[in-house]
């Protein structure tokens, strides 16, 4: 049996569907030599229009799909003790997905924080919209921090999921400039202004904010596809919370910037 990939998603928007579509296509084309063993969604059919679209996509692609509604799962416990609920919920999720024996589980728009127990039990990887060592949090929080710091570069990384949010060992990353060229004029628009003032007056409609987001988003798909290809071909391995190369030696974040930029030019 070849490399088995598991897929976790809340399926909350078009981006979540596009991630799944592209990876499914790249597997079918042979670019990623893997089998998409299952898809797990923390919403059931009928809960949200967007997640219904996601589940319908899974059906059309012929993917084995598992669901467990977070909303319906022990709601009283969730109100009383979120950490206990998180552990109980993911214990049940683990029971559902364990028989599939996935070599790696990709979190792709999965909006729950995974329990520590599940982090330790399964090799799980996540995409984070920042460079290694960069800002943590949601993509919105990351961009505001970049603007606040006047950062000159940003990036996207894929890391091992651990108990420390967005700080697990890095598998791969790519970087891109967010200053200079056409962006210089956009930075001048925010000179002398604090981030809180900008957020209050303009918010996410700020052109600089939108451009940084667009530059990151368009690199996410190539980075995911290239990383999964590297894992499926055995050129990178995950073992006991560590990232290793094909020979079993520890590695710390492979820079795939050149490969990602080439993929963008070639229309991955």
Calpha distance 161→125 (Å, rounded)? 5
Q: Same structural domain for residues 77 and 130?
A: no
| Domain shared by 96 and 140, yes or no | no
Same domain, 68 and 194: no
Q: Name the residue range of residue 142's domain.
A: 126-268
Residues 118 and 155 in one domain: no
Residues 209 and 87 occupy one common structural domain: no
- 8 and 87: one domain? yes
Length of the chain: 268
Residue-by-residue pLDDT tens, the chain, 268 positions: 589 999 999 999 998 999 999 999 999 999 999 999 999 999 999 999 999 999 999 999 999 999 999 999 999 999 999 999 999 999 999 999 999 989 999 999 899 999 999 999 999 999 999 999 999 888 999 999 999 999 999 999 999 999 887 789 999 999 999 999 989 999 999 998 888 999 999 999 999 999 999 999 999 999 999 999 999 999 999 988 899 988 999 998 999 999 999 999 997 7
| Number of domains observed in the structure of the chain | 2
User: Among the three residues 122, 153, 172, which one is the final residue of a domain in this structure?
Assistant: 122
- Contact criterion met (CB below 8 Å) for 25 and 268: no
- Residue 1's pLDDT is what? 59
For 12, the token pair is: 């909350």
Asked if 181 and 83 sit in the same domain, the reply is: no
Pairing relation of β-strands 153-160 and 124-128?
antiparallel
Q: Domain ends where: 95, 122, 149?
A: 122
Q: Would you state the pLDDT for residue 267?
A: 79
**Do 144 and 117 fall within a single domain?**
no
Is 156 found in the same domain as 218?
A: yes
Residue 198, classed as helix, strand or coil, is helix
Do residues 128 and 227 touch, judged by C-beta distance below 8 A? no
The answer to whether residues 113 and 143 belong to one domain is no
**Listed residues 90, 122, 154: the one ending a domain:** 122
pLDDT at 138: 86
Angle, CA 199 vertex, CA 198 and CA 203 arms, to 5°: 105
The dihedrals phi and psi of 194, each to the nearest 5 degrees, come to -80, 155
Is 131 found in the same domain as 115? no
Q: Please tell me whether residues 51 and 69 are part of one structural domain.
A: yes
Give the CATH number for residue 5.
Answer: 3.40.50.170
């Amino acid at each position: 049996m070849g490399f088995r990939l598991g897929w976790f998603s809340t399926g909350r928007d078009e981006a979540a569907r596009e991630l799944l579509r592209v990876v499914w296509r790249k597997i079918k084309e042979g670019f990623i030599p893997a089998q998409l063993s299952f898809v797990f969604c923390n919403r059931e059919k009928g809960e949200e229009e967007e997640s219904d679209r996601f589940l319908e996509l899974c059906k059309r692609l012929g993917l084995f799909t598992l669901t467990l509604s977070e909303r319906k799962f022990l709601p009283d416990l969730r109100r009383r003790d979120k950490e206990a609920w998180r552990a109980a919920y993911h214990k049940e999720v683990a029971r559902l997905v364990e028989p599939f024996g996935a070599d790696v589980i990709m979190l792709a728009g999965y909006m729950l924080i995974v329990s520590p127990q599940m982090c330790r039990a399964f090799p799980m990887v996540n995409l984070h919209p920042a460079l290694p060592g960069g800002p943590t949090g949601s993509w919105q929080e990351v961009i505001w921090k970049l603007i606040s710091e006047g950062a000159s570069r940003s990036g996207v990384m894929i890391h091992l999921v651990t108990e420390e949010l967005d700080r697990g060992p890095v598998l791969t990353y790519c970087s891109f400039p967010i200053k200079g060229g056409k962006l210089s004029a956009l930075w001048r628009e925010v000179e002398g202004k604090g981030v809180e003032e900008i957020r209050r007056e303009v918010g996410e409609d700020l052109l600089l904010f939108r451009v940084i987001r667009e530059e990151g988003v368009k690199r996410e798909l190539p980075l995911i596809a290239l990383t999964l290809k590297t894992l499926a071909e055995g050129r990178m391995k995950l073992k006991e919370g560590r990232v290793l190369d094909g020979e079993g030696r520890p590695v710390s974040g492979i820079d795939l910037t050149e490969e990602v930029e080439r993929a963008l030019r070639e229309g991955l």
